[in-house]
Amino acid sequence: MTELALFPLKTVLLPGNNLALKIFETRYTDMIASCMREDKEFGIVLIYNGQETDKNSEIFSIGTSAKVTDWQNRDDGLLGITATGQRRFEIHSTRTLSSGLLIGDIEYMDDSIEQAVPDQFYYMSELLRHISPHNHENFAELDFNTMVYKLIYLLPLDNSLKQKLLEVPSSLDRAVVLHAELIRLGVIQYIKP
């Protein structure tokens, strides 16, 4: 088990993707300062009941650890950061510090198997190339897991579906679920996986 400071939000962060945040609550400015000073990760988890400013929002048990990869003092006086998703984790228990910061006893989930994009899901790398604002990137060189996470991040999917996909244990199973959702949403016509 590992202890990880948690940042409950109304959004889902996926490994390998960026999330811009405005930090204004003391519990989180202190957490971010500590993470930057000690080069530590913190955890982002989706809230399913409550608000981001609540101290006892109900959260999902699967989230993504994040590192601060950029920061700036904004004109409005808030701290702006870019958090980059690192690894999926599962929360086993939580406790709340006197500051209101939520600490989780977590276990990291294994996403380390790198594999090429299977032929039946090659269309996903083409779809990614078409919808990415960085279409100059060579998506053909991405491993399958990274490609699927980037696609989930860029598609206009609701947070409950992104959370469901984050919780799927393997990249192949995640692609199968995503494939079915893309057909259901009419993003693609039926393509046999």
Per-residue confidence (pLDDT) for residue 136, from 0 to 100: 55
- Distance CA(75)–CA(31), nearest Å, equals 21
pLDDT level of residue 133 (50, 70, 90 thresholds): confident
pLDDT number for residue 92: 97
43 vs 156: CA distance, rounded Å:
23
Average pLDDT, the chain: 87
According to CATH, what is the number of the domain 2-108?
2.30.130.40
pTM of the model: 0.87
Residue 138 has pLDDT above 70, yes or no: no
Would you state the pLDDT for residue 167?
95
Across the range 58-84, mean pLDDT stands at 89
pLDDT per residue over 87-115, tens digit each? 999 999 999 999 989 999 999 997 766 67
- Which is higher by pLDDT, 4 or 114? 4
Give percent of the chain with pLDDT exceeding 70.
92
Greater pLDDT, 94 or 116: 94
* Confidence label for 57 from pLDDT (cuts 50, 70 and 90): confident
* Residue whose C-alpha is closest to residue 162's, from 181, 140, 143: 181
DSSP-H helix ranges across the chain: 26-38, 122-131, 144-154, 159-167, 171-184
